[in-house]
Amino acid sequence: TGSSSLNQLNALPIDIIKIDRSLVTSCLTNKQHRIILETLLTIAKQLGIKTFASGVETPAQEAFLQKNKCHYVQGFLYSQALSIGPLIDFLAKTDTQEGLHSGDQITLPFGQDQLRKA
């Protein structure tokens, strides 16, 4: 988000690039945004940098990102933002249609011991 230089991809120890919601939201309706996003994902792949897209709201956006080899995604397609209590309930539903499925990946900003404390 904001201004950046592609030269920083070589100069900094970057291992993941976060793709802003604004590009994801418009990637199917705005040709320039689609081209920018496809190019960014290609460059990241060729440099061995992982990609993380935020703001995925539709199955079509998800399919576009999968087709273009985006590594990680988040957005309302999967769940609204959850506080710790509802998050624990959501994670507990792994065997239902509502919860996580085999192969799903989540990243939490806290350790497992903090989940047990909640």
Q: Are residues 20 and 73 in the same domain?
A: yes
Q: Are residues 28 and 66 in the same domain?
A: yes
2 versus 29: the higher-pLDDT residue is 29
Mean pLDDT of 88-108: 62
> Average model confidence (pLDDT) for the chain?
79
Mean pLDDT of 67-88: 86
63 versus 108: the higher-pLDDT residue is 63
Cβ-based neighbours of 16, under 8 Å, separated by 6 or more: 49, 50, 51, 52, 71, 72
pLDDT over 90, % of the chain: 44
**Alpha-carbon distance 41 to 49, whole Å?**
9
Q: Are residues 19 and 73 in the same domain?
A: yes
Q: Are residues 19 and 71 in the same domain?
A: yes
Give all strands (DSSP E) within 1-118, no chain letters. 16-19, 50-53, 72-73
Mean pLDDT of 82-95: 77
Q: Are residues 97 and 108 in the same domain?
A: yes
Decide: helix, strand or coil at residue 101.
coil
Are the CB atoms for 95 and 104 separated by under 8 Å?
no
Q: By residue range, what is the domain housing residue 26?
A: 13-78
Residue 84: the pLDDT is 84
Q: Are residues 45 and 19 in the same domain?
A: yes
Domain assignment present for residue 7? The answer is: no
Please give the model's pTM, rounded to 2 decimal places: 0.69
Q: Are residues 20 and 67 in the same domain?
A: yes
Residue 112: the pLDDT is 45
